[in-house]
Structure 1
Amino acid sequence: MTIRLLLADDQALVRGALASLLDLEADMEVVAEVGRGDEVVDAALRHTPDVALLDVEMPGLDGIAATAALRRAAPGVKVMIVTTFGRPGYLRRALEAGASGFVVKDTPARQLAEMVRRIHAGLRVVDPDLAADSLAGGESPLTPRETEVLRAARRGGSVADIAKEVVLSEGTVRNHLSSAIGKTLARNRADAVRIAEESGWL
């Protein structure tokens, strides 16, 4: 039986290379490729893949949000996150969103193909080093509001800009930023954004 694949990655070169490698496998066929996270569900409904391989950082919708949307719209499609960003926080969030696998892009092609087969068979596949890091790192200490404020802060705007974007008062935004800085043990707002991003909490 041929395993039908959907690939989502905003880097056309990476997506094309991945498609070429997986198409070499006798039991696999890439049936759809997209470059944006908000195109994943439509492509899946149109092409009925068995497994979707999604990058994390994409325009429109990130891979983790796209995973959750795809699992709602087409629960029969298994999801594997294939990313450059091997961050423990991303792994935890991806699995919570319904992904069946999480691997980094430097995984050898033969090994990646075998992982796809295992996910298709109903198993869960996770990079072992990332799994260990995720268990050691724990969950995000940030509240949903603090996370939202830090996401807005990474665009570099003023407190007034952030307040307008997240529809909160400037005082409340300052309180959330202060709390996030404390919880991440950061020196300032920019440092808190950096730490939260590197931990995969944003």
Structure 2
Amino acid sequence: MSLDFIHDIQRAYRKLIDSQSRPGTLSDLAEEAGELALDKGCLPATLVLAEMLLDTEVSFNVFSERKVQVTQLFKQMSYARETEASEADFIFVLSDAQQGDLQQALEMAKIGNLSDPHFSATLIIEVESLSEGRKLRLSGPGIQSFTNAQVLASEGWLDIRAERNAEYPLGLDCLFVDTKHRLLALPRTTQVLVEEVS
């Protein structure tokens, strides 16, 4: 089976927009991801996002043990160009990335400038689960009062994200996908605190 580029990608795009406009909302990409063959070097939901976001006008970088394989796949399907992480429009941090790669990607990613804040990077981050891990308290645009989310990811990413997003409108947007084909968006405008365990 393969993705229907018109219908499947448009449906997935609507889910992405919903997740971005309502941070903390988990979107289910299982229907679209189920159309893809397994073992492409990344999660099926990641591949759906790559099909959607990459084209000839943008650049990307991959953090993965299978960087060469995944980079070649993304180039073939989109004709997007690979570049250094510090210059990339999209940075993919896959589940098999080295310890510390997520933190490095966040530190290296471009955050735009005051005249062109849109010249910033979006990170697509694979995690084991979006229903386990530390409980996060989200607030900001698109959230009435606050909402909760969970991300089972390596330690240290929250502090770096907060530092890089400290001077709005500069900052990074993060998209998390997990092994159950779920999507969580954390736009740069979303404030994230760790819930204290009582």
Question: Hey, which of these two has a bigger chunk of strand by percent?
Answer: 2
| Largest Rg, 1 or 2 | 1
Structure ranking higher on relative contact order (CA contacts 8 Å, 6+ apart): 2
Q: Same fold (TM over 0.5)?
A: no
Question: Hey, which of these two has a bigger chunk of helix by percent?
Answer: 1
- For Structure 1 versus Structure 2, the TM-score category normalised by the shorter chain is 0.3 to 0.5
TM-score (norm: length of structure 2):
0.35
TM-score (norm: length of structure 1):
0.34
